[in-house]
């Protein structure tokens, strides 16, 4: 998982920012670090504390992390973190999402596998599961751009960019190529969101051209969820947009025993974050009974990321060996086997270092290992990433969004009057995405938030003016109506850059 860089340095050791987390976080982090120390990880790695989570939120810091913590993560380029609490109410954002977005860890990679000793309906049926979910990490509704538009309407913007799609698709194919994965699927909802998910699917197909040895497929996300429950073994890797990827990742965790067995890596060009994705479990915090498996597995992804392939294989084999022999905490396993606390569970794994499982193939242990190169210096400024350039764009109208309780007929009469002496004609009025004028059904209920679409008249040449005429029209409308927002309608190389209303 090492990241490409124009100036790479091979280190003698690596520094990693460490944030134990909240709730059970410190307990499972201590257990994981004890295991790693026993395996020799600390010969190559120095963990540096990074203060973040509940303690920072409690200080009134809405970001949930100190300036010193941010600096530590940026200097290290790597972060290992336990589960963190996001305060309920008060405006504080999810620190997990903030970290991924702030440091541009654009690809979330999770691996789901059948583990011995972890009983599920699939393991009992003899159905082995081994799959990766690659989730875009920066965009989509996770931008958190929300506004109250009227008394009754709230909006969340869904933002999908071509460069963002390119980054995550390329990462998925590069990872599949390195791991010998033969087929990669794109999960999407392009049948409904034809422009946003349509772009995600299109850029997936473009990225696939550089990997002809890998078979590809695409699947609508609702069908994907059904297929994963019915026949999960048909998938090796699936790449998805952010929100859909989040949901499908948790579904896949359920297939293999829950989030307690789901490792997670967030990979970026310069900074990568490895974390437990389960919750803080405050009901058992401090009792010393938490299951550290998810964090251990995430830590294995991290040390593989930095090149410690031999050590990772030794730890993984010891963990699988322990699970195979019925070593368990109270949240899983054979009820006939004794329940161990966190420390006992960890020591059982340590005792098996150098051993391997017997019922399944052990992970091959390389003879040697070496730390991988690290990216070069911190970027001087934020980079603007581009995919499409030299595109011919022409203004052909605008959508204006209004907060009004007027009936559709009354609103249409007002809009036609206002645009009478402009280059535009009223073409569509929609409500909650459904056309209600010039045609529509009396059964379509409307709320107090309308989209009115104006397009250039037949005698107006596309591209003969810029957006100023649209702004002028919006200004005229704003004299009588509350304008919530407006969107410019343009063509890009002659192709419409906007969607139709439902029923249009």
Assign residue 354 the CATH number of its domain.
Answer: 3.40.718.10
Same-domain check for residues 58 and 132: no
Specify the pLDDT at position 89.
Answer: 58
Q: What is the mean pLDDT of residues 362-378?
A: 87
CA atoms within 13 A on the CB side of 444: 17
Q: Which of 326, 355, 389 is the last residue of a domain?
A: 389
| Secondary structure string (H, E, C) spanning 358-369 | CCCCCCCCCCCC
Alpha carbon of residue 447 to chain centroid: 32
Kindly report which listed range (293-307, 322-336, 373-387) carries the lowest average pLDDT score.
Answer: 373-387
pTM of the model: 0.93
Q: Please check whether residues 272 and 378 belong to one and the same domain.
A: yes
Q: Do 283 and 384 have their domain in common?
A: yes
474 within some domain: yes
The whole-number pLDDT of residue 178 equals: 95
Residues 296 and 405 grouped into a single domain: no
Tell me: do 88 and 34 sit in the same domain: yes
Phi-psi region of 115 (alpha: psi -120 to 50; beta: other; left: phi over 0): beta
Of the candidate ranges 30-34, 69-73, 376-380, 434-438, the one whose mean pLDDT is the lowest? 376-380
Range of the domain at 463: 393-496
CATH of the domain at 490: 3.30.70.1570
Cβ-contact 52, 67 below 8 angstroms: no
Q: Does residue 398 share a domain with residue 366?
A: no
Per-residue pLDDT averaged across 460-468, rounded? 93
Same domain, 222 and 274: no
Quick one: tokens of 428? 């569509």
Q: What CA–CA distance (Å, rounded) separates 70 from 298?
A: 21
Indicate whether 16 pLDDT > 60: yes
Cα–Cα distance, 451 to 426 (Å, whole number): 11
Q: What is the pLDDT of residue 120?
A: 96
Please state the domain count of the chain.
3
State the average pLDDT over residues 353-363: 94
Residue 2: pLDDT band with limits 50, 70, 90: very low
Nearest to 115 by CA among 105, 123, 107: 123
**What pLDDT is stored for residue 6 in this prediction?**
44
Q: Which has the minimum average pLDDT: 201-205, 287-291, 398-402, 461-465? A: 461-465
Same domain (yes/no): 346, 295: yes
Is residue 503 assigned to a domain? no
d(CA 452, CA 450) in angstroms, rounded, equals 6
The pLDDT-based confidence of 86 (bands split at 50, 70, 90) is confident
Domain match, 429 and 401 both: yes
Q: Which of 259, 283, 318 is the last residue of a domain?
A: 259
Q: Are residues 289 and 184 in the same domain?
A: no
Picking from 234, 259, 284, the residue at the C-terminal end of a domain is 259
Q: Are 462 and 456 in contact (CB under 8 A)?
A: yes
| Residues 290, 197 share a domain | no
- Say if residue 181 is in the same domain as residue 239: yes
What gap in Å lies between CA 71 and CA 335, rounded to an integer? 46
> Average pLDDT, stretch 114-140?
96
């Amino acid at each position: 998982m090492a990241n490409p860089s124009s100036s790479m340095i091979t280190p003698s050791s690596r520094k990693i920012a460490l944030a134990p987390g909240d709730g059970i976080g410190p307990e499972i982090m201590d257990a994981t670090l004890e295991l790693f120390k026993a395996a020799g990880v600390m010969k190559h790695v120095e963990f540096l504390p990074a203060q973040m989570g509940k303690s920072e939120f409690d200080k009134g810091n809405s970001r949930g992390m100190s300036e010193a913590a941010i600096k530590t993560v940026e200097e290290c380029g790597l972060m290992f973190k336990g589960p963190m609490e996001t305060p309920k109410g008060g405006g504080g954002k999810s620190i997990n999402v903030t970290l991924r977005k702030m440091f541009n860890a654009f690809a979330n990679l999770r691996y789901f596998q059948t583990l011995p000793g972890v009983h599920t309906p699939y393991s009992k049926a003899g159905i082995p599961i081994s799959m990766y979910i690659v989730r875009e990490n920066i965009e989509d509704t996770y931008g958190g751009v929300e506004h109250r538009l009227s008394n009754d309407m709230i909006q969340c913007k869904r933002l999908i960019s071509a460069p963002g799609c390119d980054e995550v698709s390329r990462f998925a194919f590069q990872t599949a190529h390195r791991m010998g994965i033969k087929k990669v699927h794109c999960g999407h909802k392009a049948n409904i969101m034809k422009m946003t998910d349509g772009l995600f699917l299109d850029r997936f197909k473009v990225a696939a051209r550089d990997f002809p040895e890998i078979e590809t497929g695409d699947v609508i996300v609702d069908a994907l969820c059904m297929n994963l429950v019915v026949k999960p073994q048909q998938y090796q890797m699936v790449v998805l947009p952010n929100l859909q990827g989040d949901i499908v990742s948790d579904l896949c965790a359920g297939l293999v025993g829950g989030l307690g067995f789901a490792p997670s890596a967030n990979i970026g060009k310069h900074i990568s974050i490895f974390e437990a994705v389960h919750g803080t479990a405050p009901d058992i915090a401090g009792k010393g009974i938490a299951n550290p498996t998810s964090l251990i597995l995430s830590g294995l992804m991290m040390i593989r990321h930095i090149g410690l392939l031999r050590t990772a294989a030794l730890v993984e084999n010891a963990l699988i060996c322990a699970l195979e022999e019925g070593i368990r905490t109270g949240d899983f396993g054979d009820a006939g086997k004794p329940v161990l606390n966190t420390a006992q569970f960890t020591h059982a794994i340590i005792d098996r270092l150098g051993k391997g499982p017997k019922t399944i193939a052990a992970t091959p242990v390389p003879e040697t290992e070496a730390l991988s190169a690290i990216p070069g210096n911190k970027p001087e400024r934020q980079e603007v990433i581009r995919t499409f350039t030299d595109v011919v764009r022409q203004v052909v109208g605008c959508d204006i969004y209004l907060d009004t309780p007027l009936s559709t007929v009354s609103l249409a009469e007002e809009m036609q009057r206002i645009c009478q002496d402009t280059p535009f004609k009223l073409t569509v009025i929609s409500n909650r995405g459904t056309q209600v004028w010039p045609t529509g059904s009396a059964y379509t209920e409307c709320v107090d938030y309308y989209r009115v679409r104006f397009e250039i008249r037949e005698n107006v040449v596309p591209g003969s003016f810029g957006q100023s005429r649209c702004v002028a029209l919006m200004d005229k409308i704003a004299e009588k109506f509350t304008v919530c927002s407006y969107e410019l309608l343009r063509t890009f190389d002659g192709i419409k850059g906007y969607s139709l209303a439902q029923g249009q």
